[in-house]
Amino acid sequence: MPAKLSVNLNAVAFLRNRRDLPWPSMENLGRIALAAGAHGLTVHPRPDQRHTRRADLPILRALIDDEFPQAEFNIEGFPDEDFLRLVEQNQPEQVTLVPDDPAQPTSDHGWDFEAQYEFLAPIVARLKRGGFRVSLFANPSSSGMASAKALGTDRVELYTGPYGGYHDESENASRELDLLEESANAARALGLDVNAGHDLTVANLPALVHRIPGLAEVSIGHGLTADALEHGMAATVRRFLGALGW
């Protein structure tokens, strides 16, 4: 089965927040994306609420429950107590933990699973007791995957930013694909499922899914939203699904 597509709505929220107005609507664009075949929605509610706001979460949860019960809600963020409470209140199917500093403009690295093991272990255990699927943001490296498995996570999400950043440098992009493939193989050998995300596009997805054929899910926001400005959300979702092999 091809990798599932989760549409990250953060860029939509960022555009909305430029004015004290309710558009563009995360709910309406999420509805269009899911109706066009997306398998889920992703949000990253940062503490400063510069894009996704806390108040957006129950609206998106209700959208999925009421209209698209087969879809999944993925909430990602740094696991401080406020974030964990948001997760427990809004009950996503998947929680993706990222090591972001609140001041970061976007996620740009994965966890050091060995160095941060003691911090992550009780958090993963708490989420697992709550019935959530847990995914941990991971650098494109096989190092530390055994520690990720020992933490009890279900999945790792490979950070594809360096790969996406070489959009016009095929040799460097190929080198990053080698690292991503090696990382995915190491994770799957331990029984972990593999997600991927960051700077993925219609152009670079086919090579990624060819190298990681068992990829479970991709979460895509910036590139997908940029395409939606040209093609519309529904057509863009279909373009990305086609790039994934659906």
- Length reported for the chain: 246
Structure letter (DSSP) for residue 114:
T
Q: In this predicted structure, what is the pLDDT of residue 170?
A: 85
Within a domain: residue 246? no
Domain that holds residue 155: 4-230
Q: In this predicted structure, what is the pLDDT of residue 105?
A: 60
Beta strand 40-43 with 193-197 is unpaired
pLDDT by residue for the chain (246 residues), tens only, comes to 999 999 999 999 999 999 999 999 999 999 999 999 999 999 999 999 999 999 999 999 999 999 999 999 999 999 999 999 999 999 999 999 999 876 666 667 899 999 999 999 999 999 999 999 999 999 999 889 999 999 999 999 999 999 999 887 888 899 999 999 999 999 999 999 999 999 999 999 999 999 999 999 999 999 999 999 999 999 999 999 999 999
| Catalytic-role residue among 39, 51, 72, 76 | 76
Q: What CATH number is given to the structural domain containing 107?
A: 3.20.20.70
Which element (helix H / strand E) includes 141? none
Is 67 tagged catalytic?
no
Q: In this predicted structure, what is the pLDDT of residue 153?
A: 98
Question: Which own/partner contact pairs does 48-55 have at CB distance under 8 Å and 24+ positions apart?
Answer: 48/102, 49/17, 50/14, 50/17, 51/10, 51/11, 51/13, 51/14, 51/17, 52/9, 52/10, 52/13, 52/26, 53/13, 53/17, 54/86
Number of domain units in the chain:
1
Q: In this predicted structure, what is the pLDDT of residue 227?
A: 98
Is 198 tagged catalytic?
yes
Q: In this predicted structure, what is the pLDDT of residue 109?
A: 81
| Catalytic-role residue among 51, 176, 181, 198 | 198
Within a domain: residue 189? yes
Within a domain: residue 238? no
Instruction: Assess contact for 194 and 158: CB atoms under 8 A.
Output: yes
Give the angle 15-161-103 at the CA atoms, nearest 5°: 55
Alpha carbons within 13 angstroms on the beta-carbon side of residue 246 total 17
Within a domain: residue 122? yes
CA distance 147 to 234: 40
Question: Structure pTM?
Answer: 0.96
Within a domain: residue 237? no
| Catalytic-role residue among 44, 72, 176, 181 | 44
Within a domain: residue 144? yes
Within a domain: residue 239? no
CA distance 206 to 1: 14
Q: In this predicted structure, what is the pLDDT of residue 214?
A: 94
Is 167 tagged catalytic?
no
Peptide bond preceding 22 in cis form (omega within 30 of 0): no
Q: In this predicted structure, what is the pLDDT of residue 131?
A: 98
Alpha carbons within 13 angstroms on the beta-carbon side of residue 111 total 29
Within a domain: residue 244? no
